[in-house]
Amino acid sequence: MIRHHPAPETLLAHIAGTLEPGHALIVTVHIEACVNCRAEAARLEATGGVLLDELDSEPLSTGAFAAVLARLDEPAPPKPVRPRQADLRLPPGLRLPAALRGTAIGRWLWMGAGLRYSRVTLPWAPKENVMLLRVEGGRRVLRHSHGGAELTQVLWGGFHDITGAYGPGDLQEADETIEHQPLADPEGCLCLAALEGGLRLPWISRLMGK
């Protein structure tokens, strides 16, 4: 049972194409897991279709149709090579979301007692600050706040903090006004998180309370 979803305006921005790439990835992963948000996303996309269809036409240059016709038989561009992904030894039975397939995934790195992270790099937006976060059961991520919005999707296990309890499929949207100290459930927690603003912010040192 998924209890926490992206805010309506976040889902709308995702469908409109104005969400930052890191956040867009997290919302894509959530939609993959959440049948309700999938239905809502389909409704919003249909809204985009209707609005596009209603626009007053903007004429194309003469020759545009001929130019496209001449290219129809060109071969399609090759698919991008899949980047390297470390073997992360995930909890049994867990598969990484399909939306992560085009990303590069680094090995687990130590971040604190019972706390590891793996950097996720989007080849199409390499400056985005996205990571997998593994917290052992009963461990607490040190109190932190954010320079910008942070989106966290629970892939396995769960955690809770002042804003509520989060389990598999849940998405937490925390803005810069929230200061929280998530505590992992007894079985531990595996999350995918994206922080707004790129690598300018020393996120990890903030997490560590340094």
Partner 1 sequence: MSTLETPPPDAAALAALILRVSQKRDRTAYAALFKHFAPRVKAYLRRVGLDGAEAEEVTQEVMLSLWRKADSFDPAIAGAATWIFAITRNARIDLARRRRGLPTTPEPEEEGHSPSAEALTLAYEREALVRAALDTLSTEQQQIVRLSFFSETPHVAIADALGLPLGTVKSRIRLGLAKLRAALEDKT
Task: Check: CB of residue 102 under 8 Å from CB of residue 28.
Answer: no
The residue whose two tokens read 């300018």 is 200
Distances (CA, A) of 137 to 41, 158, 182: 34, 9, 12
Task: Check: CB of residue 139 under 8 Å from CB of residue 184.
Answer: yes
φ, ψ at 117 (rounded to 5°) = -135, 155
Residues of span 52-111 touching partner 1 by CB under 8 A: 52-61, 64-65, 67-69, 71-72, 76, 79-80, 98-99, 101-102
Task: Check: CB of residue 207 under 8 Å from CB of residue 144.
Answer: yes
The H or E element spanning position 67 is helix 64-71
CB of 200 to partner 1, least distance (A): 17
Q: What is the CA radius of gyration of the chain?
A: 20
CB of 204 to partner 1, least distance (A): 24
CB of 106 to partner 1, least distance (A): 19
**Given the complex with partner 1, which of 51 and 109 has the nearer CB atom?**
51
Binding test (CB under 8 A) with partner 1, winner from 3, 86, 107, 126: 126
**Given the complex with partner 1, which of 25 and 111 has the nearer CB atom?**
25
Q: Does 125 contact partner 1 by CB under 8 A? A: yes
CB of 10 to partner 1, least distance (A): 9
Q: And the tokens for 199?
A: 């690598």
CB of 146 to partner 1, least distance (A): 16
Q: Does 175 contact partner 1 by CB under 8 A? A: no
**Given the complex with partner 1, which of 91 and 102 has the nearer CB atom?**
102
Residues of span 23-52 touching partner 1 by CB under 8 A: 28, 32, 35, 38-40, 42-52
Three-state secondary structure call for residue 105:
strand
Q: Does 9 contact partner 1 by CB under 8 A? A: yes
Distances (CA, A) of 194 to 62, 70, 199: 45, 42, 11
Distance CA 182, CA 144 (A): 9
- Interface residues with partner 1 (CB under 8 A)? 7-9, 12-13, 15-19, 21, 28, 32, 35, 38-40, 42-61, 64-65, 67-69, 71-72, 76, 79-80, 98-99, 101-102, 123-126
